Amino acid sequence: MLTLAAGSLQVYFSQQSAEYTVEENGKSVTKTLKKDEPLFTFDDEGKPVTNLEDAMLLSRDRYLIASKKDKLEHPEELKSAKNELAYYEKYYESGVTPITSNNGGQSAGSFFASLAGMLSIVNMVVVIVASISVASEFSDGTIKLLLIRPFKRSQILLSKFIVCLLFGAFVTLFTMLSAGIVGLILFPVQSFMLPASASLGAVSAIKAAGMLAATNYLLIVFYSAISLMISAVFRSQALAVGIGMLTVFASSIINGMLMIAIPKWPILKWSIFNLLNVNTFSQGGVMPGELSLMQTSIALLGYSLVIYLATTFIFKKRDIALT
């Protein structure tokens, strides 16, 4: 239902007319493109480019200009220009006109590639489930029933962690399936093997969705580990969930400050809050600090392992008799 609601909102906003402003006789004049006329980009004079070949040639010029600039100072600009060129070249070679903001809003493939923008909700659901997984055992008094069975505390905690990871995988797959179905119902249908968006270059929609799901699953592993730790430390379910959600929302706020601080203090690129930008890779962006996907993945999994081991130590030392 949430995926359907998200898709409906995107359909509504895609129905708005495309307006642009040009200078005529020294005055700014607002014009509107004809409905169903594709709008690929705007040229240097602010005029809309509605022909695919023209858009490809313009993107080629922009890429050549960007490639002459310092790659270290303008990494985002160069990557964006390269991806945009690859996107238009792929469609031109395929003989297909891309769905743009003025001739359908977006394609079913583009909607699927973004997983309907539902990953934030997926992460929050995983945080809630992981946060209450151990805290509920304490608050309900069932933790003693678990511990009298012939299982070690580390085994009990590991089973909770595995359940959280399996739940995260299930919710992710369900989100992918629902995004694909809703996209086919609400948006113009093009092959999912065609590029999803200019920001991703020639990457197909189905590959883009898989990449996004994979990078976000790294976040699910970390959020499960940190939420499980919070759940093991605090006896209150409400407190465990509250702190878990605070961790998710605080990361977006701190990330804004890190983008300013990292150029001055490069070591901050290894901070956990910067690593939580891992979805940037699957959205065509450049990671703050120019970390690679491999570096980011290893660091995130390393943090998750350390947190899980700390949680195991805390859970083993927990005095159950006092609960």
The label of the residue with tokens 């004049």 reads: 29
Question: Which of 1-5, 41-45, 96-100 has maximum average pLDDT?
Answer: 96-100
Share of the chain above pLDDT 70, in %: 85
Q: What is the pLDDT of residues 169-189, one digit of tens each?
A: 999 999 999 999 988 888 888
- Residue-level pLDDT at 34: 72
CA atoms within 13 A on the CB side of 193: 1
Where is pLDDT greater, at 19 or 219? 219
Where is pLDDT greater, at 169 or 143? 169
* pLDDT of 279 above 80: yes
Query: Is 208 in contact with 87 (CB distance < 8 Å)?
Result: no
* pLDDT of 323 above 60: no
* pLDDT of 84 above 60: yes
Q: At 322, is the pLDDT very low, low, confident or very high (cuts 50, 70, 90)?
A: very low
Q: Taking residues 73-87, what's their average pLDDT?
A: 82
Query: Is 304 in contact with 225 (CB distance < 8 Å)?
Result: yes
Q: At 288, is the pLDDT very low, low, confident or very high (cuts 50, 70, 90)?
A: confident
Q: Taking residues 17-25, what's their average pLDDT?
A: 62
- Residue-level pLDDT at 7: 53
Where is pLDDT greater, at 19 or 45? 45
Q: Check the CA dihedral 69-72-76-81 and report its sign.
A: positive
Rounded alpha-carbon distances, angstroms, from residue 145 to 50, 140, 156, 224? 68, 11, 12, 24
Q: What is the pLDDT of residues 301-311, one digit of tens each?
A: 999 999 999 99
